[in-house]
Amino acid sequence: MASSLLPLVLRTALFASLAIVLLLASRTLLRRKLGAALACQAWLLVPIVVLAALLPQRPAPQVLRIEALRPVQALAVQATPGASPQQAGIVLSAWACGALASALWFILGHHAFLRRAGRLERRGGLYVGAPGIGPVSLGLLRPRIVVPPDFAQRYSPQEQALVLAHERTHIARRDALANLAAALLQCLFWFNPLVYLGARRFRQDQELACDAAVMLQHPGQRRSYAEALLKSHTGARAAAGLHCHWQSPHPTKERIMQLQHTPPGTVRRLAGRCILALAAVGAAGATLVARADPAASPAAPRYAVDLAMATASAPDIAFTLKADAFASQSDRKGIPRILTAAGEKFAVASGEWRVEMTVRPGDAADQVWLAGKLFKGASLVSEPRLLTRVGEPATVKVGDGGSTDFSVAMTVTPQP
């Protein structure tokens, strides 16, 4: 079990990292072109890709095999090296310990914040906590808005309404649940620094999206909103846990500058939703294709290649095979027959001469391409490329014009 679980963890971490890198590179452009709300929602691609990477491997349909994904497929194979059950068990034990330690860190941080908040006193629809705590939306199942005791003194009535609108937006959007999902990914991939960076940028985009939503409801109150942000920035403490702080550690300058942007219109918002939906489907599909089981893909055509080699100076021919196997032990004498798959290189040596060749399907069903290199010692003599019919010999000769120093005749036969 450990031997199969370890590659799954590493492969999932790889695809999550690729999604995070893509979003980190595009988040500013998405926010400028499609708005802060859709830029925040684009982070849904990360859990979508993770879930797609967790699905069982399937053979990819031929129509979905994309050449551009071959580097990702190769990277996925390299990222999941084989390991003995003992080695996999040790690595998985370390991963589990790190995941449990990360979860414990989040839990302790959440309880530490609750202790600092003290006993909450309900006043109308709000809760008043200890000094320096809040404004913040707190709770997963029963969300509450907690404000500090000096909330009414620090903010004007207009600013209070904007701050509460911001926190209510967090609650309406279920941002605490999104923060829980981000924390879960950080626990699972605690060894990946990109996950921590992505979670931090996600929280920033979350705040910017709420700011944009409030400004959409109160378009004429940008100045009051900016002043409320500046009042909260003074002496702000870093946010911890899953709750959504108004008094957050996110760059206040970025939030204030974002207020100056004109929100996208209805057409752009609809276009953005369509783009985001297509991106989600494309990301999931690309993940499934990139991790398709190569063993389940249709096998490449296989051929038997008969080689008749002759040299002017070496009547005793010694064959050295590098990439494949002789069809039988008896083929090591006389004319060898080599079994090879389409696209795989095989090599045969005779004295100081060496032939490296690759067989590929030709333009017609009864044709094959033979392409390779002919060496004499360390020197490259020729790079033949021949189109021949199956069952018919294709001959390469090398000489000085009057005599032949070396020749090789290759006859290709398809194998079932």
Res 324 pLDDT > 60: no
Res 58 pLDDT > 90: no
Whole-number pLDDT of residue 261: 79
Q: How much is the average pLDDT of 245-263?
A: 74
Between 315 and 218, whose confidence is greater?
218
Res 350 pLDDT > 90: no
**Whole-number average pLDDT of the chain:** 80
**Residue pLDDT, tens place only, 327-347:** 444 444 456 778 888 888 888
- pTM for the predicted model, two decimal places: 0.66
Res 41 pLDDT > 60: yes
Between 85 and 154, whose confidence is greater?
154
Between 70 and 144, whose confidence is greater?
144
Lowest mean pLDDT among 59-68, 172-181, 246-255, 314-323: 314-323
Whole-number pLDDT of residue 323: 34
Whole-number pLDDT of residue 46: 95
Q: Give the start-to-end residue ranges of the domains of the chain.
A: 2-119+152-294, 302-415
Task: Write out the H or E segment, with its range, that includes residue 381.
Answer: strand 379-382
Q: How much is the average pLDDT of 315-338?
A: 49
Taking the CA atoms of 100, 101, 107 and 108 in sequence, report the sign of the dihedral they define: positive
Name the strands in the sheet holding 337-341, side by side, starting at the edge strand that comes first in the sequence.
Answer: 325-326, 337-341, 302-311, 404-415, 393-399
Whole-number pLDDT of residue 326: 44
Rg (C-alpha) for the chain, rounded Å, is 33
HSE-CB for 2 with a 13 A CA cutoff: 14
